[in-house]
Amino acid sequence: MAYIERGGVKVYYESHGQGQPILLSHGYSATSQMWAGQVDAFPGYRVITWDMRGHGQTDSPDDQSLYSEEHTVDDMAAILKECGVEKAVIGGLSLGGYVSLAFNVKYPQMVRALMLFDTGPGYKNPVAREGWNQTSLRRAEVFEEKGLEALGASAEVRASTHRSAAGLAKAARGMLAQFDSRIIESLPNITVPTLVLVGENDEPFLGATEYMVSKIPGAAKAMIANAGHAANIDQPVAFNVAVTAFLGTLPPA
């Protein structure tokens, strides 16, 4: 359990185990706590988890401009560098999967492989993107109106503890919202081994899973039976087996 400081913002992270590094990023309104069932599940790997800005034990700055995709991927790179890691398996769930794709766009030299869990790559269609953003803004408004009582009941959220509803609102406005199609357009250019995993009951993300598998060269697909959006929590054994199998296919570091 440790912090790095970036521009006056303290970013929380944890490092578990020894070996080849994996960086796992959580979903929106979850925290690193959602990965409790994974941090010791992969012998020979060092599992690094962290809390995004506005979430968990990371700071929630007042300045809205400090919440963005760019700040998020730069936080990820800074954590890896602080841990002495030059290249890692980059994975995440939901928003964490999206920022993993964004990380690959900006820092491809630091990516050994990608693991995308119950996530989507964004939108080419501006109308669809605006619909997503309106939902994101409504989530921000509810946090501003109701505070932490507005936290949802999904498994990854229930597993997490937060300090700032204002931070979650700002994260929705600046990090959950999307502003271009760069990430979805990057899929055919991914050159590292990629696992795309989804819970079979996570209906909003089944289509996105198929799309990513079709667009990412050589992508592997895994579907976790009897699991919803937080497949790693709903079915941790099956999830860990699927991830372990994928890791076993990677070429030596």
Q: What is the pLDDT along the chain (253 residues), one digit of tens a residue?
A: 799 999 999 999 999 999 999 999 999 999 999 999 999 999 999 999 999 999 999 999 999 999 999 999 999 999 999 999 999 999 999 999 999 999 999 999 999 999 999 999 999 999 999 999 999 999 999 999 999 999 988 899 889 999 999 999 999 999 999 999 999 999 999 999 999 999 999 999 999 999 999 999 999 999 999 999 999 999 999 999 999 999 999 998 7
Q: Report CA Rg, the chain.
A: 17
Domain extent listing, the chain: 2-247
pLDDT at 252: 86
Long-range contacts for 36-39 (Cβ within 8 Å, ≥24 apart)?
A: 36/159, 37/232, 37/233, 37/236, 37/239, 37/240, 38/232, 38/236, 38/239, 38/240, 38/243, 39/14
pLDDT at 77: 98
**DSSP 3-state of 234:** helix
- The strand ranges marked E within 41-168 are 45-50, 88-93, 111-117
How is domain 2-247 classified at the CATH fold level? Rossmann fold (3.40.50)
Cα-based distances in Å from 210 to 119, 176, 196: 11, 22, 9
